[in-house]
Amino acid sequence: MKKLAILDRDGTFIWEPEKPEGVDPRETFPLKGAEEVQFLPGAIEGMKKLREAGYTLVMATNQTFLGTEKHPQDVFDAVMNKIKNELAMHGLSFDFIMVCPHGPDDGCTCRKPAIGGLYPYMGTVEEGVDFQNSLMFGDRDTDRQFADNLKVRFVKIETNGPFVIPELF
Ligand SMILES: [Mg+2]
Ligand SMILES: [Zn+2]
């Protein structure tokens, strides 16, 4: 069976912009472009260790209002390309990338902590997913709840790092 290391993106393995004070916390403040992509301390190294320990890397991210003026698709795509290229230089890639593009009131089934966004992927894992030995890395309560809903162990990362992996190996 496949054991997964599922990673939240923003604030977990790349730097997340701070929200301006006094704004609606449900509002979104995405990266403005690929030039803002910064891997957090320990992130690349941690992902390498997870790979070496037999984990399959998966990303699960809520990208609120993606595809709107607040969060243009082309900016997101440029950011993701930068991330993928940098990971590839280290021999790393995600087996699956789950992106929820919806807002908090859209009632979708793919916005963390809901786990519906992973179902299509799980359906493709022929050998099955080893939930008992999988991990979810995240910096928010929604990530913790997502891990609970999936019944996998949660690894808490402080927002904007460092990225630390648990003593498992
Ligand atoms: Mg996050
Ligand atoms: Zn969604």
Which tokens is 105 given?
A: 């009131």
How far is it, in rounded angstroms, from Cα 28 to Cα 102? Answer: 11
Neighbours of ion ligand 2 (CB under 5 A): 100, 102, 108, 110-111
Q: What separation in Å is there between the alpha carbon of 118 and the centre of ligand 2?
A: 11
Which helix (H) or strand (E) is 62 found in, with range? strand 55-62
Tens-level pLDDT at each residue, the chain (169 residues): 999 999 999 999 999 998 888 888 778 889 999 999 999 999 999 999 999 999 999 999 999 999 999 899 999 999 999 999 999 999 999 999 999 999 999 999 999 999 999 999 999 999 999 999 999 999 999 999 999 999 999 999 999 999 999 887 5
Q: What is the pLDDT of residue 154?
A: 97
Closest CA to 112 of 2, 4, 7: 7
Q: What separation in Å is there between the alpha carbon of 165 and the centre of ligand 1?
A: 16
pTM of this prediction? 0.96
- DSSP structural state of residue 8: -
Of the residues 10, 74, 105, 106, which is catalytic?
10
